[in-house]
Amino acid sequence: MPDNPDSTSVAYRFELPDGTSYSFTVSVGARPLERTVSDPPEWAKLDVHKCPHCPLDATESPWCPAALSISDAVKTLGDLWSHQRVALTVTTPERSFVFDDVQLQDALRSLMGLVLATSGCPHTAFFRPMARFHTPMSSVEETVYRATSMYLLGQWVRRSEGGDTDFSQLLPMAVEESLAPLRPMFEAYVRPPGSPGAG
C-alpha cells in the first residue's frame, strides 16, 4: 500500500487511432479533495438542475461536486463520437490495465464511475472505498460483487467503531437478482465440507 493513503491516484489515458491522447488523473485518497477547475461551466453550479435530495447549500457550496468532477472530461472529450474506438491505459498504484480497442463510451463509463465516487458528493461518498481499489472496465456482475463486499466490510468497520450494523436494507431486489448466478460459488459458506447436503 502507498505510504500516504491521501496521495493515491489513478491515471486514465485515452489514445485515438490518429495518435492523439488525453489523460486524466483522479485522486483516490482517504479523503475527498477540493477540486479546482479553471473556468468551470455554468451547468456545474449547484442550483442548476439541483438533485431534489441534495443536502448541500449553494451559499456554502456554489458548485455541484459531481458536476464539477466530470466537467473536465466532458469539455475535453465531448466532441468525440461515443462509439469511437480508443486504446485505454489505466494505471493504479498496484498495476496497469491495457485495453487495446474499446468504445469511448465504455471507457468513459469506467472513468465516470471513479470520478463520481471521489467527487465529494454526499450521495456517492458510499463508493469512495471502492475507488481506492478501482477495477477499470468491470462488468455489472463484478461491480455488484465489489459493492456488496464493500458494504459488508463497511458494516464491520461501523461495528468496530461502536455503531450498530444493519443488514435489513443491504441489497435492493435488482442487486439480489444480479447476484443470483453467483450463489453456487458460495456453497462452502452455506454447507461447509462434511455437513449434511454438502457436495
Q: What is the pLDDT of residue 197?
A: 56
DSSP, residue by residue, 88-137? EEEE-SS-EEEEEEEEHHHHHHHHHHHHHHTS--TTTGGGHHHHHT--TT
pTM for the model stands at: 0.77
Q: What is the pLDDT of residue 129?
A: 84
Where do we find the cell 449553494? Answer: 58
Q: What is the pLDDT of residue 168?
A: 66
Contact 113, 120 (CB under 8 A): no
Amino acid present at 43:
W
Q: What is the pLDDT of residue 105?
A: 94
Percent of the chain with pLDDT over 90: 44
Any residues with CB less than 8 A from the CB of 118 and at least 6 apart, and which?
A: 26, 27, 28, 32, 33, 69, 128, 131
Q: What is the pLDDT of residue 1?
A: 45
Phi, psi of 26 (to 5 degrees): -120, 125
H/E stretch holding 66 reads helix 65-77
Amino acid present at 167:
F
The residue ranges of the chain whose pLDDT is under 50 are 1-2, 174
Residue 119, burial from CB neighbour count under 10 angstroms (0-12, 13-18, 19+):
buried
Q: What is the pLDDT of residue 64?
A: 92
How many distinct helices (H) and strands (E) make up the chain? 6, 4
DSSP 141: H
